[in-house]
């Protein structure tokens, strides 16, 4: 839930950060900042887990690619549509994760998980619907991003099943995503130091907090929570975004937003109470 709170406040910074750079550059730099920020903590765990085998390397690499692709689609979507659309459509990972488990991985899930997912998506709809205007390329990119966020959540759970140390896992796969993203940014956007300096605050905020701290907390938390439940809990980012806007920016929570927050809370409570597969 702390990770959800951090992510719920990051969408605006992600948008303003692209005033001086493209989505590939912004995504790559913030991934590298996040990965290097937690690297010193990961060093403490070196030797406790064996990462130098084929299965571990493959899993961490796939996690990094899922993170990078999801982040790139989300970042690019902000160029074409508003924050509300991106936040709402990104949250589609909430129903996608249990569907992947149920349809493709053939793992049974409690019917309450599907009920919780539906309540969370309905709640996010109520929070966002006054600003939603569907029908552009940004919406399509957000939906693609949601699919890769779902894969990322599932792969994190797989790393827990393999008993990989979560802090090392977080650092390695974020850094891998960052370096691959940087190569793409250099090839596609040819960024300059001046461009990067222009969005320094947004990069530091979304890199160190949203990427570094947020994904580390998620990786640690998924040692103790099934992926479907984790997806539902992470949907609290929409709830926290609304509450933060009310407290910090003085934005009034209208009736729809209050209903939406209530539905998300109910969905989360149900998923935590019935957290078995």
pLDDT tens digits along 224-273? 888 888 888 887 877 776 676 666 656 566 788 788 878 888 887 787 67
Neighbouring-strand partners of residue 46: 49
Q: What is the rounded average pLDDT of the residues 162-172?
A: 89
- Identify how many contiguous H helices and E strands the chain contains and give both numbers: 15, 0
- Which structural domain, as residue segments, surrounds residue 215? 2-273
Report the C-alpha gap between 62 and 66 in whole angstroms: 6
Can you tell me the distance from the alpha carbon of 48 to that of 140, in angstroms, rounded to the nearest whole number? Answer: 42
CA 247 to centroid of chain Cα atoms:
23
CA proximity to 175, closest of 72, 46, 58, 28: 28
Average pLDDT over residues 132-148: 82
Separation CA 188–CA 202 (nearest Å): 21
pLDDT at 130 over 70: no
- Number of domains composing the chain: 1
pLDDT of residue 277: 44
Kindly compute the dihedral angle of the four CA atoms of residues 212, 167, 276, 109, in this order, to the nearest 10 degrees: 70
Kindly indicate the confidence band of residue 191, based on its pLDDT and cuts at 50, 70 and 90: confident
**Cβ partners under 8 Å of residue 146, min gap 6:** 70, 89, 90, 91, 92, 93, 96
- With pLDDT > 70 as the criterion, what percentage of the chain qualifies? 87
How does pLDDT run across 17-74, given as a tens digit for each residue?
888 899 999 999 999 999 999 999 888 777 666 666 888 889 999 999 999 999 999 9
pLDDT level of residue 275 (50, 70, 90 thresholds)? low
Q: What is the pLDDT of residue 115?
A: 85
Single out the residue of 83, 85, 242, 230 nearest to residue 159, CA to CA: 230
Check residues 273 and 116 and name the one with the higher pLDDT: 116
Phi/psi at 161 (nearest 5 deg)? -65, -30
Task: Identify the pLDDT of residue 251.
Answer: 57
């Amino acid at each position: 839930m702390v990770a959800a709170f951090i992510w719920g406040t990051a969408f605006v910074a992600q948008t303003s950060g692209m005033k001086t750079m493209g989505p590939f550059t912004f995504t790559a730099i913030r991934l590298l900042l996040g990965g290097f920020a937690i690297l010193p903590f990961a060093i403490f765990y070196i030797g406790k887990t064996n990462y130098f085998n084929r299965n571990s390397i493959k899993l961490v690499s796939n996690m990094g690619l899922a993170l990078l692709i999801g982040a790139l689609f989300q970042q690019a979507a902000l160029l074409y549509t508003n924050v509300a659309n991106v936040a709402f459509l990104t949250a589609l990972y909430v129903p996608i994760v249990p569907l992947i488990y149920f349809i493709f991985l053939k793992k049974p899930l409690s019917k309450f998980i599907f009920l919780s997912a539906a309540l969370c998506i309905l709640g996010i709809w109520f929070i966002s619907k006054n600003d939603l205007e569907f029908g552009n390329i940004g919406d399509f990119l957000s939906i693609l991003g949601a699919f890769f966020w779902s894969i990322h959540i599932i792969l994190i759970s797989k790393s827990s099943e393999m008993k990989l140390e979560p802090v090392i896992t977080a650092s390695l796969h974020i850094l891998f995503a960052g370096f691959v993203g940087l190569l793409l940014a250099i090839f596609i956007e040819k960024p300059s130091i001046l461009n990067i300096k222009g969005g320094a605050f947004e990069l530091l905020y979304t890199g160190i907090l949203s990427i570094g701290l947020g994904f580390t907390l998620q990786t640690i938390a998924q040692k103790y929570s099934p992926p479907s439940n984790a997806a539902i809990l992470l949907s609290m980012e929409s709830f926290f975004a609304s509450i933060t806007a009310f407290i910090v920016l003085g934005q009034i929570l209208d009736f729809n937003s209050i209903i939406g927050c209530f539905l998300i809370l109910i969905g989360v409570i149900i998923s935590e109470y019935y957290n078995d597969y």
